[in-house]
Structure 1
């Protein structure tokens, strides 16, 4: 369970939402964007307390080849604008 009261997790949630909004406005939709924290197996037992993540990652999930091409096109158009 993701605990949003942690500043690092909140930062990742805000980044995910901003990215989702931007790519949606550009006509692209990634099917599964999420926020993930380190797995318990990757952290010391003392460090892995609920809501006490040292960092969080925006997980973009998987997408079809056509969605990947659309996303690449949006990025390139932004670079040439």
Structure 2
């Protein structure tokens, strides 16, 4: 793998981390915390990573809060 290819692969993963963090901040501002939010490790591996953001599992209360946030309702 060339230095350029390594840098490009690293940048893809860094971008995914940045988006994950931005999503986490936005969700928390809306009163929603996804405890398993992270990057899918398998999708970040290999010579040409295709990073996926794993939203993970959540309980019913969190799912309701997420639904309310997406529908534009405020947390009470």
Is TM (by shorter chain) over 0.5? yes
What are the within-5 Å matches in structure 2 for residues 20-31 of structure 1? 20-31=24-35
Long gaps (5+) in structure 1 = 40-46
Shift of residue 54, structure 1, vs aligned partner: 2.5
What are the within-5 Å matches in structure 2 for residues 4-23 of structure 1? 6-23=10-27
Q: Is the 8 A contact 1:12 1:58 kept in 2?
A: yes
Aligned residues: 64
More helix per residue: 1 or 2? 2
Compute the TM-score of the two structures, normalised by the length of structure 1: 0.67
Distance 1:38 1:63 in 2: 21
User: After the TM superposition, which segments of 4 or more aligned residues of structure 1 sit over 2 Å from their partners?
Assistant: none
The RMSD of aligned alpha carbons is 2.2
Is 1:38 the counterpart of 2:42? The answer is: yes
Shift of residue 53, structure 1, vs aligned partner: 3.8
